[in-house]
Amino acid sequence: MAPMIVLFTDFGLEGPYSGQVKTVLHLTAPGIPVFDLFSDLPPGKPQPAAYLLAAYGAWFPPGTVILAVVDPGVGSARGAVVVEVDGRWHVGPANGLFELVARRATRVRSWQIPPPSAAISSSFHGRDLFAPIAGDLARGESPVGRLCPEGMPRRPDWPDDFPEVAYIDRFGNAMTGLRAAVLPERARLATAGQVLTRRRTFSDVPPGEAFWYENSNGLAEIAVNCGRADAALGLNVGSPVAILP
Amino acid sequence: MAPMIVLFTDFGLEGPYSGQVKTVLHLTAPGIPVFDLFSDLPPGKPQPAAYLLAAYGAWFPPGTVILAVVDPGVGSARGAVVVEVDGRWHVGPANGLFELVARRATRVRSWQIPPPSAAISSSFHGRDLFAPIAGDLARGESPVGRLCPEGMPRRPDWPDDFPEVAYIDRFGNAMTGLRAAVLPERARLATAGQVLTRRRTFSDVPPGEAFWYENSNGLAEIAVNCGRADAALGLNVGSPVAILP
Amino acid sequence: MAPMIVLFTDFGLEGPYSGQVKTVLHLTAPGIPVFDLFSDLPPGKPQPAAYLLAAYGAWFPPGTVILAVVDPGVGSARGAVVVEVDGRWHVGPANGLFELVARRATRVRSWQIPPPSAAISSSFHGRDLFAPIAGDLARGESPVGRLCPEGMPRRPDWPDDFPEVAYIDRFGNAMTGLRAAVLPERARLATAGQVLTRRRTFSDVPPGEAFWYENSNGLAEIAVNCGRADAALGLNVGSPVAILP
């Protein structure tokens, strides 16, 4: 499979950040296609992003390089890693962002990226540290840095599924960090004082009615047909979601 | 003319949807350029989108494949079509989105896309059903599905021009669904309790003054020089616009 | 260095404008990569954009063509220019947008673009006038128009550094038009009734604390660790920023 590079960040598309990252990728790995998976992840929150990455990154073919940056600790001593999982490469900060990708994988290898030179920016490692590495990997180079025999730093305290709203999309739908496949078929979700039943898709419920469904990447998602679930139910990133069997 | 693929959707760019669609297009039709025409159409509203598509899609050269998805009925029994109009291909739901494109064309052919397999997502036909078809068409393949001798489902009840605000852009300008070329030269537009006269462009009126003009794709658009028409006049998508001759 | 084209505009990405510009660039200069540097510049304000362009454009390699459009006077008699500075090409309106690029350069050449034909749009010169010129330059063609021996129109009244907030990014950080390198090492910045000290990066201050730092393109930027500076301090584009030595 020909390689591709996928961006998974909280950088936004309209300001300078994603465009500069893409320029570096082009200069490092000319001709390799780059796709925006998420560019508006909840700013500075690696935990919800980690559950989204596990659900959405696995959709891409082996050989894909995922440049994942949600990095509130940029410029500090937090580590930086390359993680290879089932043929997909991940590059980014060692802050838990790859925890669920690794936990659900059959084979994980990780490399510790050496501390960057003082010459690079202290606030934009996405452009100055991670993008050149992602470009090199996409061109087929071996990872830089030290292979970690013990594996990358892990977050055993994080649950297997995340009972919170992890992302609200442009339609007002609220993605949770819960995999629909691990929920009982008749499970209801309780959030913001309401109890929601499972439906197959939007057109299965009357306009204005709230429900939850398995979204197109396997997450339990809260929605309102012909409406905005965030506004109708008062949901935000971080709203807790309880499972009622 | 070398083909290109154009996206015309309500998916947004920053979340996962447009990026996943572009990934499928790349895997189906590698090397064919993809452009975002509109990615923030009013969510779930095929009618205003139909008038925008007729105005903006015709700007692209013959051979272009337009992937158009504003699809509140996704997952229901609503049909799906390929529509060829004057050398341009259109792929999307059979919900009226192509009504004005077809009505204004000199030659229309349409194909009914077979119902999708149960294996694909019920909520993201843009990625799972329409994008592979758009990619195949861009590579020069013939349309799948049954040619409709009687033509695709039509919306004879929709007017030739749409007397409402169809889209509000980043500057606060309000595009209507009215073609400027069919309006009397001295027509005024009445909306939100105000009567607006026609001007050529922004710099022809004093700062702060509201007016209407023929926009760069031929639609009557309501604007305020150095200001936001939506805020100044209280306009929203769906605000009625009356023509005063 | 292989050429690239960079977009620096207030057009937004989600509506039709950037996509149409990219389509024209593709038709004019097929195969040359196009990157979005800023697409959400403060609408209609060439002055703050001029300082951002000087800071961010210089990051790109020689040979780059920068299509810069913040153009409130579109359709009026305002001039249009091609400006070559240290091997980078700039195309856009002659409204001050290139003032700081030119002022900080070692060598500047400029060409006056002839007035456009009446056949093109009066409201979208980015697509109809500037994009074809940018595409031609990227293909290696010589600039059209008359070389200005006296140089392009200048704005000697604009300061060398701009003591205002010029842009607020998706994280709520407020970029100023001040180069950090010209400020005293211990300079404090006063804005919105607060006095801010300089730090190296976010993780050097406690969560919730406001500070300023040299951003990844050399501008003084006001930020709050794990928070939004715009909301916390009440900053907007145009908020004055004073330097306290």
pLDDT digits (tens, 9 = 90+) for B142-155: 997 778 877 788 99
d(CA B175, CA A197): 39
Q: What is the DSSP letter of C213?
A: E
Q: How far apart are CA A26 and CA A29, in angstroms?
A: 5
Single out the residue of C52, C225, C24 nearest to residue C124, CA to CA.
C24
Q: Do C226 and A44 touch (CB under 8 A)?
A: yes
Please answer yes or no on whether A30 and C2 come within 8 Å at the CB atom: yes
d(CA B26, CA B131): 10
Q: Does A17 touch chain B (CB under 8 A)?
A: no
User: Residue C223: which residues within 8 A CB-CB, separation 6 or more?
Assistant: C171, C172, C173, C174, C202, C210, C211, C212, C213, C229
Average pLDDT (A181-191) is 96
Helix (H, G, I), strand (E, B) or coil at B35: strand
Residue A121 in contact with partner chain C when CB distance is under 8 A: yes
The answer, for A33 touching chain C at a CB cutoff of 8 Å, is no
Site from B20, B24, B26 to mutate, A interface, most A CB atoms within 10 angstroms: B20
Q: Indicate which of B32, B213, B216 best probes the interface with C, i.e. most C CBs within 10 Å of its own CB.
A: B216
Do A170 and B43 count as a contact with CB atoms less than 8 A apart?
Answer: yes
- Residues of chain B in contact with residue C13, where contact means CB-CB under 8 angstroms, are 13, 36, 39
Give the contacts of A104 (CB within 8 A, at least 6 positions apart): A54, A58
Contact list, C59 vs chain A (CB under 8 Å): 20
Report yes or no: C18 at the B interface, CB cutoff 8 Å: yes
- Give residue B1's pLDDT: 63
Q: What percent of chain A has pLDDT over 90?
A: 85
How many cross-chain Cβ pairs, A to B, lie less than 8 Å apart?
A: 80
Which pLDDT tens digit goes with each residue over B42-55?
999 999 999 999 99
DSSP label at residue A234: T
- C208 CB within 8 Å of a chain B CB: no
Is B164 in contact with B241 (CB distance < 8 Å)? yes
Q: Which of B10, B14, B123 lies closest to A215 in CB terms?
A: B123
**Sign of the Cα pseudo-torsion (C118, C123, C127, C129, in order):** positive
Q: Per the CB < 8 Å rule, is A6 touching B13?
A: no
Query: Each residue of A192-237: pLDDT tens digit?
Result: 999 999 999 888 999 999 999 999 999 999 999 999 999 999 999 9
C40 → chain A, closest CA residue: A14
| Contact pairs from chain B to chain C, CB under 8 Å | 80
3-state secondary structure of A105: coil
Least confident of A14-18, A53-57, A148-152, C86-90: A148-152
Which residue from A40, A22, C170 is spatially nearest to B16, judged by alpha carbons? A40
Instruction: ipTM value, please give it.
Output: 0.97
Whether residue B199 has pLDDT greater than 70: yes
Residue numbers in A near B123 (CB within 8 A): 201-202, 213, 215-216
pLDDT 10s digits, A92-131: 999 999 999 999 998 999 999 998 888 888 899 999 999 9
Among residues 88-117 of chain B, which lie with CB inside 8 Å of chain A? Answer: none
The kind and range of the H/E element at C244 are strand C242-244
Interchain CB contact of A56 with B (< 8 Å): yes
pLDDT for residue C1: 64
Query: Which residues touch A202 (CB under 8 Å, ≥6 apart)?
Result: A213, A223, A225, A226, B72, B74, B75, B123
User: Per-residue confidence at B118, pLDDT binned at 50, 70, 90?
Assistant: confident
DSSP code for C130: I
Write the CA distances from C198 to C108, C188, C201, C202, integer angstroms: 34, 7, 9, 11
User: Would the CB atoms of B216 and C13 count as touching at under 8 Å?
Assistant: no
Span C5-15, pLDDT tens digits: 999 999 999 99
Kindly list the residues from chain C whose CB atom is less than 8 angstroms away from the CB atom of residue B216.
121, 123-124, 127-128
Q: Does C226 touch chain A (CB under 8 A)?
A: yes
Residues of chain C with pLDDT > 70, as a percent, come to 100
* pLDDT, position A151: 76
Contacts of B4 in chain C (CB under 8 A): 23, 26
Residue A1: per-residue pLDDT: 64
The answer, for C19 touching chain B at a CB cutoff of 8 Å, is yes
Chains that touch A (3 or more CB pairs under 8 A): B, C
Q: What is the average pLDDT across C149-177?
A: 94
Is C216 in the A-facing interface, judged by CB distances under 8 Å? yes
Q: Please indicate whether residue A245 or residue B193 has the higher confidence score (pLDDT).
A: B193
Q: Which residues lie closer than 8 Å to A198 by C-beta, 6 or more apart?
A: A180, A183, A185, A186, A187, A188, A211, A212, A213, A214
- Burial code (b: 16+ CB inside 10 Å, e: under 16) for C159-180 equals eebbbbbbbbbbbbbbbbbbbb
* Contact: C202, A75; criterion CB under 8 Å: yes
Average pLDDT across chain A, whole number: 95
Res C2: pLDDT? 80
